[in-house]
A and B are shown apart, each in its own frame.
Chain A
Amino acid sequence: MKILVTVKRVLDSNVKVHVNADGSGVDLANVKMSMNPLDEIAVEEAVRLKEAGIATEVVAVSCGVAKCQETLRTALAIGADRAILVETDVELQPLAVAKLVKALVEKEQPQLVFCGKQAIDDDASQTGQMLAALMGWGQATFASKVAVADNTATVTREIDGGLETLELKLPVVVTTDLRLNEPRYASLPNIMKAKKKTLDILTPESLGVDVTPRLDTLAITEPLKRVAGIRVADVRQLIDKLKNEAKVI
């Protein structure tokens, strides 16, 4: 069984977000970029299924600028077998990414696609669901446990009220939540090995996919900052403030 896993290059989660004063966007010049943390969990899960003998090949896929190659090399260092970049400088929105990945799924014929449940930059949480819909496949989003056997995926999902478990016939799209696994650190030998693995580069044009954005971003602004309030001296003063000043209890 082949697994395809999608990875996105995003602003590193430890970097403080700085909004450009002219409203044009978030400052991404000369800041550390990394693999979306939820996609790291997706890669890790795919690699574990290969190590368990359930999957035969793990193909990592990214869509975006040339530097996404670095993100794919990270996926290869974690343990993906090969990688595909769909390279474009056009701003890619989730529907366009879903269409690009659909084109790759049709070429590669994986039985399972792992996506992170959301990217920590646009927080959209759409691509996996859109891909499943475009393929006419079932989906298991926000997964915290995945088991694959007998052509069936059994997935525990994190939902608002707790957990639920789905059974789906393959092929299927699974989007990964935080508690699915703890991704490994790539070892130095594996980072070196990753440099030699195959990384193919395609374009949206070669896949016949129109990636024109459907949403125009008119402005990116900083939210109103919350101002720190006061320090209370003790519990009694806290209760007094909540009762008589804030009037919330």
Chain B
Amino acid sequence: MAILVIAEHDHVSIKGATLNAITAAKQIGGDVHVLVAGSDCAAAAQAATKIDGVERVRVADATHYVDQSAENVAALVVANADSYTHILAAATTFGKNMLPRVAALLDVAQISDIVAVKSADTFVRPIYAGNALATVRSRDAVKVITVRSTGFDAAGPGGGATVESLTASPDLGLSRLTGRELTKSERPELGDAKIIVSGGRGLGNGENYHRLLDPLADKLGAALGASRAAVDAGFVPNDYQVGQTGKIVAPDLYVAVGISGAIQHLAGMKDSKVIVAINKDGDAPIFQVADYGLVADLFEALPELCGLLD
């Protein structure tokens, strides 16, 4: 039995969420192979050989994989899917975009966002914004699965995987990337951060958001997040959003500032190890999931918190 994990990478290094998907693959059991589709991506392939549990790294290096479009990567995966019982990717926007194409082309179901492996064909996945957990068993010969990072630890460093070159599939030419605006930040990425400071509508506007939360995030070495309300109101860009339709995170510490705690938001952060809520409304639902709740005016509490952390 062999399992193929589709790597998410920037041609140089492997993205963190792929490490969690590799752990899920190891739990399913069998040889773990990693597929790297990129352009000038030898460094990323080398990085993949150094992940614990990886037996083989299969690399397709071609200029038309520079954007890693869903159409081209899915076609490559399908062309190399023979002999695999499971095909996995992280449930990031990359994996969620690409992997359902693989499932459809193989005429099998996809099992989205698994958080636990029960056996080689049975998995647990959250539904209804995490308000219920479904245990599902696949009838298909090949299981195509996206993995929620928060359900699995990241695979550690290892070594010794072999590298194999794959023939690139033809460029389908179905889409053309004309621009990427990535949020530049010195802070950790939301998905990888040990501590997240997250702000909601209670902050009032984007200027307050940054004036109050940036210093706290800097002191804690934290990533910055936001509720849907704060993103919809334009305080911060879309990639800050934590929740059912945004990012799902589970850091060691999640500090929710001025966030009321709508179900959609709780769906994205309730598996955090420690949750702190700071909100002036003592009845806000966020307090029902918070380990430490502080009912206070955030405009006074935040500067005080920052000052005392020196």
Q: A126-B100, A168-B175 are in contact. Are A235 and B296 (CB under 8 A)?
A: yes
A229 cross-chain contacts in B, Cβ below 8 A: 275, 290-293
Residues of chain B lying within 8 A (CB to CB) of residue A241: 292
Alpha-carbon distance A102/B152, docked complex (angstroms): 35
Contacts of A132 in B (CB 8 A): 71, 101
Could you say which interface size class chain B belongs to? 35 or more
Residue pair B110, A232 in contact (C-beta under 8 Å): no
Given contacts A158-B238, A248-B252, contact A178 B232 (CB under 8 A): yes
Given contacts A142-B97, A229-B293, whether A163 and B134 have CB atoms under 8 Å apart is no
Known contacts: A163-B181, A214-B108. The answer to whether A137 contacts B100 by CB under 8 A is no
User: Which of B178, B231, B301 has its CB near the most chain A CB atoms (within 10 A)?
Assistant: B178
Residue from A158, A161, A165, A217 with most neighbouring chain B CB atoms (10 Å): A161
Does any Cβ of B come within 8 Å of A31's Cβ? no
Q: Assess whether B130 is interfacial by the CB under 8 Å rule.
A: yes
Indicate with 1 or 0, residue by residue over A235-249, a CB within 8 angstroms of chain B CB atoms. 110110110001011
Interface flags for B130-164 (1: CB within 8 Å of A; 0: not) read: 11111111111000000000000000000000000
CB–CB A242/B101 < 8 A:
no
Q: Taking chain A's interface residues, is the majority helix, strand, or loop, or is none over half, making it mixed?
A: mixed
A contacts with B, residue count (CB < 8 A) = 76
Nearest-neighbour CB distance to chain A for B215, whole angstroms, equals 14
Q: Are A130 and B103 in touch, CB under 8 angstroms?
A: yes
Check A218 for interface membership: any CB of B closer than 8 A: yes
Taking a contact as CB atoms under 8 Å apart, the answer to whether B175 and A138 are in contact is yes
The answer to whether A160 and B131 touch across the interface, beta carbons within 8 angstroms, is no
- What is the interface of chain B, defined by CB distance below 8 A to chain A? 70-71, 74, 92-94, 96-105, 107-113, 122, 126-140, 172, 174-183, 189, 191, 195, 220, 228, 231-232, 237-239, 244-245, 247, 252-253, 270, 273-276, 282, 287-296, 301, 304-305, 308-309
- Residues in A lying within 8 Å of B, measured CB to CB: 11, 17, 19, 26, 38, 93-95, 98, 117-118, 120-127, 129-134, 137-142, 144, 154, 157-169, 177-179, 213-223, 226, 228-232, 234-236, 238-239, 241-242, 246, 248-249
